[in-house]
Chains A and B, each alone.
Chain A
């Protein structure tokens, strides 16, 4: 009896958390296929709002900006962040700790502070526009790359690299054939994490973008100020789904690789 009560409380608690976390998003998704401009009346199922999304040039442009910005900034941050992670790995302990702190601060810092600071900095040197947003996104993406790649560097097996050099490989060839494959898991998850962060960002983009440049999030914000339209529900649903899929890929990819390794190991033992 007592056990069943505890069991019930546990389930209830879990359910409560899920309701608070996901019901709002579910409501938004439902409204995105609601054939009515009202927020309280169900007017039947429709994909009309999604259709309008696709035909809206402004939204299409914002979508391309968002995706382009996300992948470009992540790719550049990937190179810088990986190089930084290598540098940190070979630092003395005290300097390593200092660098780690410097890496963490931008992540903990309020976005609005980062956004305003970057804006103040940028307007001194270059016109606000796609370039300034790109630099801002690279800046806040670098820490995510470092944090994803660094543990892999610490685990890596250097003797494989030495073996390649020993067998006649140049430093660059040895790096690409032996080191990079070992880091690929961290690099991949860091990259997609950065893409997600870039797509998610509103605050920093808002402050560093010039007139005429819009990502989906800044565009939604602009539209909502004029009044909420159901297209925005549809757009938000699309963004949520895209980010969800990305996150699933990021989290599932290393797990899948592990499973393959386990299977190989099991075969070997059999």
Chain B
């Protein structure tokens, strides 16, 4: 794949507090890449460095192989869709969208054509002469997207663009964003803290925490094979429990030996074991790998959220069938649904891409 953007050894700190630590990343042409992480993990700062609104303390940003680290935003061939829409309040919708084209001194007919095209693309025909503050949040964000795309950037940066919208509208906009992406065929760099949004839309997800990349890969590999406890915990709900890898294909949890499919660990290495709540099933006591007491059952619509206490660990289980609170149950798991991870040597150890 062709690389369009390359981040080399980027570091950035604010007031002595490091936000991004020696980060390296390649972004390919036409991919939908998502920077995912909790607030303060450095994802927005990274986007602002790419957009030209921050200068990194160290490192370089390469666009098509050329160094653009110190280029001002107006000279970069990429555009940003901001979190707070940031439409020009005193211009109407058409003038907002035409802003970039007018600066490029395009002729009137061309601008009009492009504005109409952009409005159609984001499903906002007929809103040309409305003022931004007379539009809803979702409509404003559509205009913001149109305003960026109309300039035909090679890369579109989106900084939590759906963060301010309610759930239903957000899901609708996710589908539309994917449609727009398909239609214009450019690179999307998307920043979000919403893991379901990332899993839904992305070709590739970069999970970040404390200024470093924790894991990158396609959504399925991120979800199914988290590389460390942070990723496992951040992407969906997880049971993360201490274990000992006795030998290949055998892990011990809470003194019970359980077959698994993982190999390549040192004998008796201490590990983190990740089990997704939906992979656990409730069975009769004595038939699973462990026995515990049902502490809590919460109906969630599509499933029951069940908590089972075994010793000092509380398992989270998602089950289609309810359980009786207070009763004793067994838990069972298929070997291939057990994910074994090395214990991190330090809290911010960087996990390298595994594809």
Quick check: A163 and B90 within 8 Å, CB to CB?
no
Quick check: A178 and B88 within 8 Å, CB to CB?
yes
- Residues of B contacting A177 in the complex (Cβ-Cβ under 8 angstroms): 88
Q: Specify which of B74, B83, B135, B151 is in contact with A165 (CB 8 Å cutoff).
A: B74
Encoded as 1 (CB less than 8 Å from any B CB) or 0, chain A from 19 to 31 comes to 0000000000000
Quick check: B100 and A167 within 8 Å, CB to CB?
yes
Encoded as 1 (CB less than 8 Å from any A CB) or 0, chain B from 97 to 141 comes to 001100110000000000000000000000000010111000000
Q: Main secondary structure on chain A at its contact with chain B?
A: helix
A157 to B87, CA, bound (A): 10
- Residues of A contacting B100 in the complex (Cβ-Cβ under 8 angstroms): 167-168
Quick check: A162 and B86 within 8 Å, CB to CB?
yes
Q: Which residue of A lies closest to B99 (CB)?
A: A167
Q: Which residue of B lies closest to A171 (CB)?
A: B72
- Residues of A contacting B88 in the complex (Cβ-Cβ under 8 angstroms): 160, 163-164, 177-178
Shortest C-beta distance, A176 to chain B (Å), equals 12
A264 to B134, CA, bound (A): 7
Quick check: B151 and A157 within 8 Å, CB to CB?
no
Quick check: B74 and A157 within 8 Å, CB to CB?
no
A173 to B72, CA, bound (A): 14
- Residues of A contacting B135 in the complex (Cβ-Cβ under 8 angstroms): 268
- Residues of A contacting B148 in the complex (Cβ-Cβ under 8 angstroms): 166-167
Quick check: B133 and A159 within 8 Å, CB to CB?
no
Would you call A265 an interface residue if the criterion is a C-beta within 8 Å of the partner chain's C-beta atoms?
Answer: yes
Work out how many contacts link A and B, with CB atoms closer than 8 A.
Answer: 69
A163 to B51, CA, bound (A): 10
Question: Known interface pairs A159-B86, A167-B147, A178-B88. Does A264 touch B72 (Cβ–Cβ under 8 Å)?
Answer: no
A159 to B89, CA, bound (A): 12
Shortest C-beta distance, B243 to chain A (Å), equals 47
- Residues of B contacting A171 in the complex (Cβ-Cβ under 8 angstroms): 72
Q: Specify which of B73, B90, B104 is in contact with A166 (CB 8 Å cutoff).
A: B73
Shortest C-beta distance, B119 to chain A (Å), equals 17
Would you call B84 an interface residue if the criterion is a C-beta within 8 Å of the partner chain's C-beta atoms?
Answer: yes
Quick check: B103 and A168 within 8 Å, CB to CB?
yes
Quick check: B151 and A167 within 8 Å, CB to CB?
yes
Quick check: B133 and A166 within 8 Å, CB to CB?
no
Question: Known interface pairs A264-B133, A268-B133. Does A167 touch B103 (Cβ–Cβ under 8 Å)?
Answer: yes
Shortest C-beta distance, A163 to chain B (Å), equals 4
Besides the known contacts A159-B86, A177-B88, 18 further A-B residue pairs in the complex with CB atoms under 8 A apart: A160-B86, A160-B87, A160-B89, A162-B80, A162-B82, A163-B82, A164-B88, A166-B52, A167-B74, A167-B103, A167-B151, A168-B74, A168-B103, A169-B74, A169-B99, A170-B74, A174-B74, A268-B135
B interface, CB within 8 angstroms of A: 51-53, 72-74, 79-80, 82-84, 86-90, 99-100, 103-104, 131, 133-135, 144, 147-148, 151
Interface pairs A-B: 7 shortest CB-CB: A167-B100, A163-B86, A159-B86, A165-B73, A168-B103, A268-B134, A168-B74
Q: List 19 A-B contacts (CB under 8 A).
A: A157-B84, A159-B83, A160-B88, A160-B89, A162-B82, A163-B144, A164-B88, A166-B52, A166-B79, A167-B79, A168-B103, A169-B74, A169-B103, A173-B103, A174-B74, A177-B88, A264-B133, A265-B133, A268-B135
A interface, CB within 8 angstroms of B: 157, 159-160, 162-171, 173-174, 177-178, 181, 261, 264-265, 267-268
